[in-house]
Amino acid sequence: MTQVQLSEEQIKQILQGIVIPPQPQIMVDLQMEQVYPEPSIDRIADLIKQDVGLSGTILKIVNSPLYGLSNKIQSIHQAVMLLGLNTVSNIVNGLSIKGELNDSDIIELNRFWDTAMDIAIVSASIAKQVGYSCPEEAYNLGLFHNVGIPLMYKRFDDYFTVLQEAYAGQHARVIDRENEVFKTNHAVVGYYCARSWNQPTHIAAAIADHHNVRHLFEARGHSTKQANSLVLLAILKMAEHMCGNYAIIGHQDTDHEWEDIRDLVLDMLGLSPYDLETMKVIFDEQGINMKYCY
């Protein structure tokens, strides 16, 4: 695979704008890997794949006009191999400077980081279980769908308090409470972030719509393209529920959103409640923590 080396100035330009703070521990692990006499590019790719901001930046760069690729790359491993160790190291070092957080920021954002990787893994696993053609898409959607949350947190005071209210089941949609207070919401912000990262249009659209599922499913069309997008959203919502997104992000004992859309999601995926319980057991056996499911 041909590698293209980017200059420091090119990397600096690409890193301008939207930056999601990377997980401090991931940055430490990456920097430790870089100081080895022979750093493992596979290990570096595995670490990057665990972080929303790093993954988004790597995909943004490899899919930028600088590379002129005819097809967008969605695989983190493929992107890292194409960029090469030197370019990836420069990107990581650049983000480590931009992503400095204080202790309170780290504590607050742990909720976001804790769910992103779990939901990505479970989304890809569900995609395989239901025969979805591209589990990598499900993984990326799971990883990036809440990317607007840390951006909203950095922009608005007391954001997580409002988000907790949003998950309390008092509004038709989770995003309605955010819209009341902030005149925007994390799904909209996430959409623009995904577009800035050169994510495929249907992934960005799914991010924008991931709290608008009931309306989309009830008004669904019959085109293959639209059907695939709805299946992808159904996979995400099932993964969110199974990973306890409502408990970790929303601090709720009940997944009110899931209760509202559960039958629609299962119908879209051709699954029964029994199938859902069976999947929970399978994921638990695979070491994927389902402790937040009720």
pLDDT of 78: 92
Who contacts 199 (Cβ-Cβ below 8 Å, separation ≥6)?
56, 59, 72, 140, 144
pLDDT of 294: 39
To the nearest whole number, what is the mean pLDDT of the chain?
Answer: 85
Per-residue pLDDT tens digits for 261-291: 999 999 999 999 999 888 888 877 776 655 5
pLDDT of 205: 93
Its pTM stands at 0.81
Q: Which amino acid is at 76?
A: I
* Mean pLDDT in consecutive groups of 10 residues from the start of the chain, 294 residues: 55 58 83 84 92 89 78 89 84 66 78 87 92 92 92 89 95 95 92 85 93 89 72 96 92 95 95 90 71 46
* Options 3.40.50.2300, 1.20.120.80, 1.10.3210.10, 3.40.640.10; CATH of 103-285: 1.10.3210.10
pLDDT of 10: 57
pLDDT of 12: 56
pLDDT of 66: 67
DSSP 215-233: HHHHT----HHHHHHHHHH
CA dist., res. 122 & res. 243, Å (int): 8
Break the chain into its structural domains and give their ranges.
Answer: 10-98, 103-285
Per-residue pLDDT tens digits for 122-133: 999 999 999 998
